[in-house]
């Protein structure tokens, strides 16, 4: 709890540090796009209190991340203090950087002692995907689509089958499909309204924290000094901030 209280106080510290006199730095304007999430939040609301413990125990506190409203102001302020050489946020008297332990606590997902996710498999195994998402191989094959430079499953398809399972009372199946949509739209966003193969592969592997942290650093580092869109798990970065 002590670590969490420190995490939640950082937004106030950022505002204070921003007013301290220090050498002028170049500022950049960043954008933080998030898709309209009302339908997905509505789907998440089907996880009632009596089922929440089971869901969190299996997939972590990703429903809280889903419901987090991204405020661009503290994120915009935070990114002005990023130091690309030190790979951290540098203030007058101290430095800050998100860690595996902090992300693990915020997400309620332990870091597993295994090799972190490195890359998507070269071949798509529909049987493996079907087993993880509780679908038939035929359903996966018929709905597997390209989107831009990636491949995967449309959000509307996964939401439809997940809602159908909820209506049938197949809660374990529903939980798996809901979690996969959150992975693709919130934790590892790629294309709008699309759950790409990378997000599905990380979901199957079940050790998201190292990849989330690496994805966050890459998104920030690659846009430093350039501005533009930051595409990573923004709600989690905001909770850390």
Q: How far is CA 208 from the centre of its chain?
A: 9
End-to-end CA distance of the chain: 16
- What pLDDT is recorded for position 208? 93
Which pTM was predicted?
Answer: 0.85
Q: What CA–CA distance (Å, rounded) separates 123 from 101?
A: 33
Q: pLDDT tens-digit profile of 181-226?
A: 999 999 999 999 999 999 999 999 989 999 999 999 999 999 888 8
At 105-154, the pLDDT tens digits run 999 999 887 666 667 778 899 999 999 999 999 999 999 999 999 999 99
Report phi then psi at 209, rounded to 5. Answer: -60, -50
The number of C-alpha atoms within 13 Å of 60 and in the hemisphere containing its C-beta is: 23
Q: What confidence score (pLDDT) does residue 92 get?
A: 82
For the stretch 112-115, contacts whose Cβ atoms lie closer than 8 Å and that sit 24 or more positions apart, written own/partner, are 112/206, 112/207, 114/207
- The pLDDT of 92-115, averaged and rounded, is 88
Residue 9 confidence (pLDDT): 56
Q: Which of helix, strand or coil describes residue 204? A: helix
CA distance 191 to 146: 10
Mean pLDDT of the chain: 88
How many beta carbons lie within 10 A of that of residue 138, not counting itself? 10
Q: What is the pLDDT of residue 180?
A: 98
Rounded Cα distance between 209 and 207, Å, is: 6
Q: Which pLDDT score, from 0 to 100, does residue 21 have?
A: 47
Contact 7, 104 (CB under 8 A): no
Region 51-58: what's the mean pLDDT?
96
Summarised one tens digit per residue, pLDDT across range 153-187 is 999 999 999 999 999 999 999 999 999 999 999 99
What whole-number percentage of the chain has pLDDT above 70? 87
């Amino acid at each position: 709890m002590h670590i969490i209280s420190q995490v939640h106080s950082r937004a106030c510290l950022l505002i204070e540090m921003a007013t301290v006199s220090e050498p002028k730095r170049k500022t950049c304007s960043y954008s933080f796009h998030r898709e309209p999430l009302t339908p997905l939040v509505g789907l998440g609301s089907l996880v009632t209190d009596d089922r929440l413990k089971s869901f969190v125990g299996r997939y972590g506190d990703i429903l809280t991340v889903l419901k987090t409203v991204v405020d661009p102001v503290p994120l915009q302020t935070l990114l002005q203090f990023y130091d690309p050489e030190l790979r951290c946020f540098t203030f007058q008297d101290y430095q800050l950087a998100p860690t595996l332990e902090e992300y693990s606590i915020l997400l309620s997902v332990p870091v597993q002692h295994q090799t972190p996710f490195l890359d998507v498999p070269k071949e798509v195994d529909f049987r493996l995907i079907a087993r993880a998402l509780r679908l038939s191989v035929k359903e996966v094959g018929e709905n597997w689509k390209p989107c831009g430079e990636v491949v995967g499953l449309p959000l509307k398809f996964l939401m439809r089958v997940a809602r159908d399972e909820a209506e049938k009372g197949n809660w374990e199946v529903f939980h798996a499909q809901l979690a996969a949509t959150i992975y693709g739209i919130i934790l590892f966003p790629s294309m709008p309204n699309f759950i790409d193969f990378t997000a599905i592969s990380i979901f199957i592997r079940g050790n998201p924290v190292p990849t989330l942290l690496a994805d966050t650093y890459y998104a920030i580092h690659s846009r430093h000094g350039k501005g533009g869109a930051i595409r990573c798990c923004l709600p989690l970065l905001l909770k850390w901030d």
